[in-house]
Amino acid sequence: MQKSLEKITAFILQHHVMTLATQSNGVVSACSLFYAYDVKSQSFIVASSEDTEHIQNIEKSSQVAGNILLETKSVGKIQGLQLRGEFTLLEKEHLASLYFQDFPYAKLMRPTLWSIRVSSFKFTDNRLGFGKKLLWKRETTS
């Protein structure tokens, strides 16, 4: 499982935009977000205004799903990552520096930063074989 997480992490670090899905009262919504990624905690750091539909949805249900993909028409190069996690206000201020390192211009806007603590990944990587899936799930502690 560690090898899978290493391949997944390498893919995440090659990209910077995710699609995020939220829901509220049976209505599903999607948005695109720039992200930074904290390898140690398997968490994404994103910026978003509190008046957006996705943040209003998250106030009702913090469980989210998302994806990151490599856009290609070559079937042999297809790569895509699906994720699930919990979306919360960023509490670990030292992680803010990761976001501003990747997006320094955003600091001037003084955005609200959020964290997505990943609970699971499903990574499709056709370079490893057609339809090859790598799975990772956070171990739960009791």
Which residue's entry shows tokens 């201020």? 93
| 12-41: pLDDT as tens digits | 999 999 999 999 988 899 999 999 999 999
Indicate whether this model's pTM tops 0.75.
yes
| 63-83: pLDDT as tens digits | 999 999 998 888 888 999 999
Distance, in Å, from the CA atom of 121 to the CA atom of 123, rounded to the nearest integer, reads 6
Which residue's entry shows tokens 């976001």? 99
Domain ranges (residues) in the chain: 2-137
How many other C-beta atoms are found inside a 10 Å radius of the C-beta of residue 73? 6
| 107-119: pLDDT as tens digits | 888 899 999 999 9
According to CATH, the topology of domain 2-137 is: Pnp Oxidase; Chain A (2.30.110)
Q: Check whether 142 has a pLDDT greater than 50.
A: no
Distance, in Å, from the CA atom of 119 to the CA atom of 15, rounded to the nearest integer, reads 20
Distance, in Å, from the CA atom of 19 to the CA atom of 67, rounded to the nearest integer, reads 5
